[in-house]
């Protein structure tokens, strides 16, 4: 097998590349998690991560992938037989629905075509219809990582309020937190689910539930069984900076560093950088003559761009050729769009030159795999990053 030189380009929409600063911060001896030294770290990350969620309420950290935090949100608030409203935005919304279903929850799944976010008007209409308030929760994925579409969380909050409906509001921000503007308290979200390995730039292994007073109240009366995920069991030792079982200590060192990095850059600058890189990526896709999967410009993802393959070209073959020739990993199509799309991640530790390098790999890969396209995508992305609109206009031959 041929060896590959240089840095691997991990351009999937999570796990995202871990910055050297975070790798170094984690390169520490494991300490006693019942010690005073640990309690300082515990306090610091439990308090420090609140700013990233824009909350003053508790943030619970589980040693688990995002899927664990999905399950925690369900088992701490719902009861078997409850009805919840979800929106079919893509593969991740479908997986979250499947977990709820396995726990005996009756999920009403608003159908979607995987090319846009959840529809606030459809949610409002369904809640207005539910005069008996049978629906106990509205559950939405903020950034649908399988399609590159975001849902408008502030508008969905407004839709719930317009309907005067008391349902809990639960949002999956696993791939949007620290990449896309998100406000747990202001948008009165009851449970925000998140993970470490996307916008937070950490390795996989920890995940989060940010919880509201209303969610905590629900957790005191719901009847779903749980043990490992129980919020109350977590919150008691968390008050002293501790965890009920062995935490992922070294990932917490990394989290402390990630929060510091986000604070230094400023969350608004982080969000603006993601939007700028995403816009440049879409310029490249347009120049290649390919199509972005998301069809609503108001819902384009700042985190990743999913690109449709021309008919009869297999996205997985293209990704394989691109990986072998240029040492770049691109995201695969998931679920219904398997083989039909590839995804370019531009999140976390990503800047202009990382993006241009990645897009070069994508463009050379298109040529290498014989995928019909026009060249000039990288040029268009560069022009977008330079803020040079003129250069984005269709080229006229120079004579
Ligand atoms: C990655 C992701 C998940 C799953 O998280 P794991 O850490 O793989 O369990 C869930 N939802 C969204 C939106 C994601 O991007």
Q: Which CATH class is domain 20-263?
A: alpha beta
331 lines ligand 1 (CB under 6 A): no
DSSP state of 300: B
pLDDT of residue 213: 98
Place of tokens 């008007």: 121
pLDDT of residue 112: 98
Residues of the chain with pLDDT under 50: 391-399
Q: Which atom of ligand 1 is nearest to the CA of 13?
A: 15
Cα–Cα–Cα angle for 140, 350, 331, rounded to 5 degrees? 55
Yes or no: say if 156 and 120 are a contact pair by the CB < 8 Å rule.
yes
179 lines ligand 1 (CB under 6 A): no
pLDDT of residue 388: 62
Averaged pLDDT score across all residues of the chain:
96
pLDDT of residue 1: 54
pLDDT of residue 399: 42
* 295 φ/ψ angles, rounded to the nearest 5 degrees: -105, -5
Domain boundaries, the chain: 9-16+266-392, 20-263
pTM: predicted TM-score of the whole model, two decimal places: 0.96
| E strands, 92-182, in order | 106-110, 135-141, 143-144, 149-150, 168-172
334 lines ligand 1 (CB under 6 A): no
Here the tokens at position 365 are: 């890969």
pLDDT digits (tens, 9 = 90+) for 333-376: 999 999 999 999 999 999 999 999 999 999 999 999 999 999 99
pLDDT of residue 251: 98
Which fold, 9-16+266-392?
A: 3.90.1150
């Amino acid at each position: 097998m041929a060896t590959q030189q240089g840095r691997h380009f991990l351009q999937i929409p999570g796990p995202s590349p871990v910055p050297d600063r975070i790798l170094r911060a984690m390169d520490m001896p494991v300490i006693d998690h019942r010690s005073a030294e640990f309690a300082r770290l515990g306090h610091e990350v439990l308090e420090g991560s609140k700013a990233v969620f824009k909350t003053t309420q508790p943030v619970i950290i589980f040693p688990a992938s995002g899927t664990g935090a999905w399950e925690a949100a369900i088992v701490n608030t719902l009861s078997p037989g409850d009805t919840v409203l979800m929106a079919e935005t893509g593969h991740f919304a479908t997986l979250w629905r499947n977990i709820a279903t396995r726990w005996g929850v009756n999920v009403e799944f608003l159908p979607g075509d995987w090319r846009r976010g959840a529809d606030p008007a459809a949610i409002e209409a369904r809640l207005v219809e539910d005069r008996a308030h049978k629906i106990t929760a509205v559950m939405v994925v903020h950034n649908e990582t399988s399609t590159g579409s975001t849902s408008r969380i502030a508008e969905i909050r407004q839709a719930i309020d317009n309907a005067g409906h008391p349902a809990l509001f639960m949002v999956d921000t696993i791939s949007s937190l620290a990449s896309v503007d998100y406000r747990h308290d202001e948008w009165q979200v009851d449970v925000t689910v998140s993970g470490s390995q996307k916008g937070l730039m950490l390795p996989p292994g920890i995940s989060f539930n940010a919880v509201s007073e209303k969610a905590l109240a629900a957790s005191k009366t719901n009847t779903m069984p749980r043990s490992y995920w129980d919020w109350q069991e977590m919150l008691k030792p968390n008050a002293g900076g501790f965890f009920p079982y062995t935490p992922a200590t070294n990932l917490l060192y990394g989290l402390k560093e990630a929060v510091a990095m986000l604070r230094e850059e400023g969350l608004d600058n982080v969000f603006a950088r993601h939007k700028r890189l995403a816009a440049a990526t879409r310029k490249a896709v347009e120049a290649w003559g390919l199509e972005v999967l998301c069809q609503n410009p108001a819902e384009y993802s700042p985190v990743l761009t999913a690109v449709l393959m021309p008919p009869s070209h297999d996205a997985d073959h293209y990704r394989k050729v691109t990986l072998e020739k240029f040492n770049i990993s691109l995201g695969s199509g998931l679920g219904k769009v398997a083989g039909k799309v590839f995804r370019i991640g531009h999140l976390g530790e990503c800047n202009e030159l990382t993006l241009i390098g990645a897009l070069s790999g994508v463009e050379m890969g298109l040529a290498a795999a014989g995928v019909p396209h026009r060249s000039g995508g990288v040029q268009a992305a560069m022009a977008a990053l330079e803020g040079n609109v003129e250069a984005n206009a269709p080229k006229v031959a120079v004579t």
